[in-house]
Amino acid sequence: MKAGYWINIRTGQAELVQEHANFLKDHVHAQKIGLPENVYEQLKDIPNDYSGPNREKILRLAMGEGLIRLRGHGQWIAIEFTAPTEAALRACRNLLDQVCGPFTVLRFNNLQTGETVEVTYQEFEQRMKKQDSMLR
């Protein structure tokens, strides 16, 4: 998989994107993924410099509101967020169920804490099932 997505941590809703920062600068897209209006107003006029500090600022503003950035890199997927790690893992579950094979490597990066969790999809699903059983 090489696609990119934004995932709303509160709803689990996922939106396919070409470029993460540009997606959010489109008002219709920002509303669709659930970005608050005041955050859209903050980022809409920031020029996307694609690899620089402006793009990072746009992405961090969105992640600060509970959006999760996901990008496929073939056999592995990068998932970035600033929310609590376990909440981010849970929010990604539905999308990952649809796009992963058992040995797809998932690299969850909490940009707030520096924590990284790297597991195969098969290990991820076992972890989620274990958490499900503990919640019952």
Q: What is the pLDDT of residue 134?
A: 83
Q: Which two tokens stand for residue 134?
A: 């503990």
Distance of CA 22 to the CA centre of its chain: 15
- Which domain range does residue 43 map to? 4-135
| Number of domains within the chain | 1
In the chain, which residues have pLDDT < 70? 136
Closest CA to 106 of 130, 131, 123, 129: 123
Q: What is the pLDDT of residue 13?
A: 95
Q: What is the pLDDT of residue 131?
A: 87
Over its C-alpha atoms, the chain yields an Rg (Å, rounded) of 15
Q: How far apart are alpha carbons 1 and 99 in whole angstroms?
A: 7
Q: What is the pLDDT of residue 2?
A: 87
Q: What is the pLDDT of residue 1?
A: 78
Closest CA to 125 of 111, 110, 103, 135: 103
Q: What is the pLDDT of residue 71?
A: 97
The predicted model scores a pTM of 0.94
Q: How far apart are alpha carbons 125 and 136 in whole angstroms?
A: 17
